[in-house]
Amino acid sequence: MSDTPKSPRSTVRRAPRRGTYSRDDLLEILDEAWLCHVGVVDDGAPVVIPMSCWLYEERLMVHGSPRSRLMRLLLEGAAACVTVTHLDGLVLARSAFHHSMNYRSVVLHGVATEVSDPQARGAAFAAFVEKVEPGRWDRIRQPNDAELRATTLLGFDIDEAAGKRRTGGPVDAPADLSHPVWAGVIPLALTRGAPVRDGAAVE
Ligand SMILES: Cc1cc2nc3c(=O)[nH]c(=O)nc-3n(C[C@H](O)[C@H](O)[C@H](O)COP(=O)(O)OP(=O)(O)OC[C@H]3O[C@@H](n4cnc5c(N)ncnc54)[C@H](O)[C@@H]3O)c2cc1C
């Protein structure tokens, strides 16, 4: 698949070898995300808000109450910067300076657009629930009109975006390689724990 076009603000300048503009790479990083951070300017000052997110038809979706400040700003067309980060490991070097982190991240610039078509909204919400648990959408009670009215659904196109990845071990200076301390990577991953039943069922 094609690359996203680079714009001046979506070009990775620091450690550019770690940057990616491949749409496939960006979609892969975004698809794994449960959480994004949406940054906007409100009344002249930046605010960055954590939000659940998911991919639907190659757009990054967020949802929330139409009464939320963030949703209102996005609906008004606020320019946004959305970030997603996966922390994959702690990189322990022999020198303090070369300690690092392994990660995959995306920084996306854009203006959200509302998804208002009822069928598209249903399909997008279903995609989110299916991500939570495949097969769940058909087993749960479907949203009613009041719930749908209370939920704004917005999507960001992945047009102006860059990804960045660090993998591998520490990059110590040759002179430090004999320093007698453990060096390497401690992998980190977000994993699902054992399910805990809620116990609130009414027979
Ligand atoms: C993991 C996660 C997932 C979430 N998913 C969603 C979602 O899908 N949809 C949704 O609408 N909301 C979600 N939230 C809540 C979201 O972060 C906001 O609190 C909410 O959307 C209200 O935004 P607002 O701009 O209207 O907040 P306001 O209440 O207007 O914000 C005012 C101030 O409150 C503080 N504040 C607001 N939110 C937070 C926060 N999360 N943590 C600490 N301080 C905060 C900040 O100082 C902010 O400037 C999620 C939060 C988390 C942590």
What is the Å distance from ligand 1's center to 70 Cα?
8
Q: Could you tell me the pLDDT band of residue 4, with boundaries at 50, 70 and 90?
A: confident
Give the pairing of strands 45-52 and 35-42.
antiparallel
Ligand 1: residue of 36, 38, 51 to mutate (most ligand atoms within 8 A of CB) is 51
Torsion sign over Cα 69, 78, 116, 156: negative
Paired residues of 166 in beta bridges: 103
Q: Can you give the pLDDT at residue 201?
A: 83
Nearest CA to ligand 1 atom 8: 52
Check whether 100 has a pLDDT greater than 90: yes
Q: How many CB atoms lie within 10 A of CB 124?
A: 20
Pick the CATH number of 8-168 from 3.40.50.300, 3.40.50.720, 1.20.1250.20, 2.30.110.10: 2.30.110.10
Q: Which two tokens stand for residue 24?
A: 């496939």
β-pairing verdict for 160-166 and 100-110: antiparallel
Q: Which atom of ligand 1 is nearest to the CA of 62?
A: 8
Q: Which atom of ligand 1 is nearest to the CA of 69?
A: 26
Question: Would the CB of 51 count as within 6 Å of ligand 1?
Answer: yes
Average pLDDT, the chain: 96
* Mean pLDDT of the 85-112 span: 98
How do the domains of the chain map onto residue ranges? 8-168
Mean pLDDT of 142-158: 95
- Which residue in 16, 10, 13 sits closest to 83, CA to CA? 10
